[in-house]
A = this chain, B = another copy of it.
Amino acid sequence: MSQRLIVTNVRRGTDAEPTSLTVADGLIAGYGEAPKGNDRVFDGSGCFVIPGLVEAHTHLDKSLLGMKWYVNEVGPRLIDRIDNERRQRRLLDLKPAEQAARQIEAVVAFGTTHLRSHVDIDTEVGIKGVEDVMEARERYRRYLEIDIVAFPQSGMLVRPGTVELMEQALTMGADVVGGLDPCMIERDPKGHLDTVFALAEKFGRPIDIHLHEAGEMGAFSTELILERTRALGMQGQVSISHAFCLGVQGVDYVPHLIDALAEERVHIVTTAPSSTSAPPVKRLVEAGIVVAGGSDGVRDVWGPYGNGDMLERAMFVGLRNNFRRDDDVALALDVCTYGGAKVRGQTGYGLETGCKADLVLIEGETLADAIVSRRRRRLVLKAGQIVGRDGEFVPH
C-alpha cells in the first residue's frame, strides 16, 4: 500500500461539518480519520471538496493557447468560421499535440480530471489531429482522462473520403463517433445520421453530435436522432452537444422533444452560451435528462473567449439559466461534475468512500460562493496524486 494522504479540514457541502478525507491507493478511503505516523497531510483550510470537474465538450486539437495572438476578422456565418478554420490551420501551422498539451496543463490546474475532446477529421488534415491528441492523451494520462470524439467538422458526405477517415480514427482508438448539423452543414440529414449511427454500430461506440441548428430545423434533426437511437437500442449512448433548438420559448415542439429525449436517455451537453438560445438546464434535469457542461473551443480561431475553467463554466450555466437561489447554483456545478461524468460513462466517480480520488478543493464561504468567486484551486488530485496546487499544474 502506498503512502496515505490525509486532507484535513474539508467540507462536503455548505452545511456539512469540516472533516478529514483519507486517500489511499488512488481511492477515497474514508472520512474523519486522524493522520497517523507515515501519512502525508495536507491542510484543506476549510475548503470544499468536490469531485473532479468534467469538461464534456472541448476541442483540444485547436486551441491557440500559448501561440501568438490570432487577430480574428472572420465573417458572420457558421460556414465562414468552418472554412476560415481550415485555412488558418495551415497559415498558423497549428500543432495539435502541442496545443492539446497546453490546454491540458491549464485545465488540470483548474481542477478538470476528465475531459471529452472532439477532434477534427477532414480530407485536408486527415486523422493527424486524432493521432496528435492521442499522443498528448498518452503523455498526460496520469493527470487527465480524455475521450476522443472523431469529429467531421467540415461534413462527411459533402467531402468524399471523410467516412473512411472516420473509420480509420475509430479503428485507431477514437472513443466516440461525432456528427455535425445534419441539415445546415451536411445538407443531407438522413444520409449524415444514417452514417453516424452505422459507424457507432459497426465500432460499438457512443455518439456525440454537434447540433447548432436553430428552431424547427434543429428540432427536426433531433427527431431524426431520437428515431435512430430508439431503432438501434442506443439509449444512454447518444449525446447532443449545443442543442440550441431546445432553448426556443413558446413553441410546441420543445416539450415533446424533452419527453422523447428523456425516454430515449439522450444526453445534452451545453456551453451555456449567452448569445443564442440554450437548453433550459433545470427543466431538462427535472425531466430526468443528463445534462453536462463544456467550454467548447478555448481561445481558437472561432473566438477569443474561454480558459477551460469548468468552475467558471458552472457560473455561466447559472447566469444563462437565471439561477439565483443557492440550490440552483449548486445544480449548475452538478452539471459540470456529475453530469459530465454520466455523459462520459465514468465509473467510480464521486465523493463516496471507494470512489476514485479525483478531487478538487475549492475555496469559499459556501458552495455557491466558491462557484461565483472562482478562486484559484487549492488542490487538485488525480487518482490520489497531487496534480494541481494553488492554481498551478503540478507535474509528477
Spell out A's residues near B (CB within 8 Å): 14, 68-69, 71-74, 81, 272-276, 299, 302-307, 315-316, 318-322, 324-327, 329, 365-366, 368-369, 372-373
Contact = CB atoms under 8 A, between A and B. Distances in A.
Nearest 7 pairs of A and B residues by beta carbon: A274-B274, A275-B322, A303-B324, A69-B365, A69-B366, A274-B320, A304-B372
* Oligomeric state, in copies: 2
Given A304-B372, A319-B274, A325 B69 contact: no
B324 A71 contact: no
A69 B48 CA distance: 15
Nearest to A373: B307
Given A69-B365, A304-B324, 11 more contacts: A69-B366, A71-B326, A71-B366, A71-B368, A72-B324, A72-B326, A74-B325, A272-B274, A304-B372, A305-B372, A307-B373
Nearest to A317: B274
Contact of A275 (B74, B321, B329, B368): B321
Contacts of A69: 365-366, 368-369
Contacts of A276: 322
7 contacts: A14-B71, A69-B368, A72-B325, A72-B368, A81-B324, A273-B319, A305-B319
Given A304-B368, A372-B299, A372-B305, A326 B275 contact: no
Contacts of A373: 307
A322 B321 CA distance: 18
Nearest to A68: B365
B315 A329 contact: no
A274 B324 contact: no
A290 B259 CA distance: 45
Contacts of A368: 69, 71-72, 304
Contacts of A324: 72, 74, 81, 302-304
Contacts of A302: 324
A320 B73 contact: no
A291 to B, nearest CB: 16
Nearest to A274: B274
A306 B324 CA distance: 12
A39 to B, nearest CB: 32
A311 to B, nearest CB: 13
Nearest to A371: B304
Contacts of A73: 325-327
A13 to B, nearest CB: 12
A365 B273 CA distance: 25
